[in-house]
Amino acid sequence: MNLNTLLDLAIMIFGGMFLGRMAKHVHLPNITGYLVAGLLLGPSVFGVLSEDFLSATNLISDVALVFIAFSIGNEFKLSYFKRVGKAPIVIACLEALFAVIFVDCALLLCGQSLSFSISLGAIAAATAPAATIMVIKQYRAKGHVTETLLPVVAIDDAAALILFSLSAAAAGALQHTGGSLTASLLSPVREIGGAVVAGALLGFIFLLPLRFFKKPGNRLCLIVAFVFAGQGIAEMLGFSPLLLCMAMGAVVANFSPDVEKILDITESITPPIFMLFFVASGADLQLSALPTVGLIGVAYILFRVAGKMFGASLAANICKCNKQVRKFLGPCLLPQAGVAIGLSLTAANLVPEHAPQIRAVILCATLIYELVGPAVTKISLKRAGEIVEA
């Protein structure tokens, strides 16, 4: 790492802090300021941060996401699920499913081929938990919507992987790619099941040294080491790092009496990591994608939102959730980022003749969802009465 790299990282932090404060003055979440700072610093506007530098910062994104996943896992307390029942699972499955169905149908009505519609629509299930979590933390949101939202965005990652794999298998069959349908269907089962089992085992191992290391500094070292180990093991075994670290966090939440202290220690190190992650995410957004998406992009953006809101509301009604959950949970599921961009590469391989179009649509949708989503989440939680003061 040379001096220019360190200077660029410093510029990212300064820019994020400044625009984060400016966003606060116009009653927007800090994360919106971070994303705008990245957009201005990135190749699309002033070009302060080069594409080569941004490619080299992927490690920051990986670290930020697994810390977020570990924090989300700590919300998976058995006592919570005993109290609220199956609602978060049903909501996560239906909001993801209807997002895919709505986008598939919209693209077919726009005259697109079935294989293309399925390939692009499959990505609609993915929701980015990072932006939602940051808004909740910034405003210290509390209430029925918030406590349902946290497990929903966590479970959504697993639901999105399953739905994408099923859609990919169907699109592959339509394209006669010759791949094994059984293998395509079993792939998400292996990835999700393996990640959960490995994460749970790592979580139980994590509990052992916690008994002997009580000082915050020592526990911080343990947390960083185990989260890093989770990321590395997941990559080595071909599992989802997010699901693995969520499972590890869930074990800690349910079997450690010091879970609240562990969360407090974790939050002491994550602010600059998260800021760098969102500034880098903003820098990756490409304004050049906006003019190229056309009717297909508009259909994807609008009908994904409609599908998620419809699915969340339907599931909340089925589970007889609180009125505020039925009304305000859906709009909190707008953000879409890294996972969707990653899935777009696989989807493009299924229909290579449409690869540039898929890439443009997802990049454009990411730009809009990431800039608008946090503000919508804040407004929804505030209207639900779970943000007392902005």
CATH number assigned to the domain comprising residue 36: 1.20.1530.20
Query: How do residues 211-223 score in pLDDT, each as one tens digit?
Result: 889 899 999 999 9
Higher local confidence (pLDDT), 163 or 380 = 380
Query: How do residues 307-337 score in pLDDT, each as one tens digit?
Result: 999 999 999 999 988 889 999 999 998 887 6
Q: Answer whether residue 226 is part of any domain.
A: yes
Q: Answer whether residue 390 is part of any domain.
A: no
The mean pLDDT value for 276-292 works out to 77
DSSP 269: T
Q: Answer whether residue 194 is part of any domain.
A: yes
Higher local confidence (pLDDT), 352 or 110 = 110
pLDDT (0 to 100) of residue 23: 82
Spatial contact of 75 and 151, defined as CB atoms under 8 Å apart: yes
Query: How do residues 256-272 score in pLDDT, each as one tens digit?
Result: 988 888 888 988 888 89
pLDDT band at 302 (very low <50, low <70, confident <90, very high): very high
pLDDT for 390 beyond 50:
no
pLDDT for 2 beyond 60:
no
The number of folded domains in the chain is 1
Q: Answer whether residue 328 is part of any domain.
A: yes
Higher local confidence (pLDDT), 140 or 357 = 140
Q: Answer whether residue 168 is part of any domain.
A: yes
Instruction: Please give the model's pTM, rounded to 2 decimal places.
Output: 0.73
Q: Answer whether residue 355 is part of any domain.
A: yes
Spatial contact of 16 and 37, defined as CB atoms under 8 Å apart: yes
Q: Answer whether residue 389 is part of any domain.
A: no
DSSP 295: H
Q: Answer whether residue 176 is part of any domain.
A: yes
pLDDT for 197 beyond 70:
yes
The mean pLDDT value for 351-376 works out to 79
What Cα–Cα distance (Å) separates residue 352 from each residue in 344, 346, 383?
A: 11, 10, 44
Residue 350 lies in domain: 3-383
pLDDT (0 to 100) of residue 5: 85
Computed over every residue of the chain, the mean pLDDT equals: 83
pLDDT (0 to 100) of residue 1: 44
Give, rounded to a whole angstrom, the gap between the first and last alpha carbons of the chain: 39
Q: Considering the chain, what percentage of its residues have pLDDT values greater than 70?
A: 88
Look at 52-66, 217-231, 282-296 and tell me which has the smallest mean pLDDT.
282-296
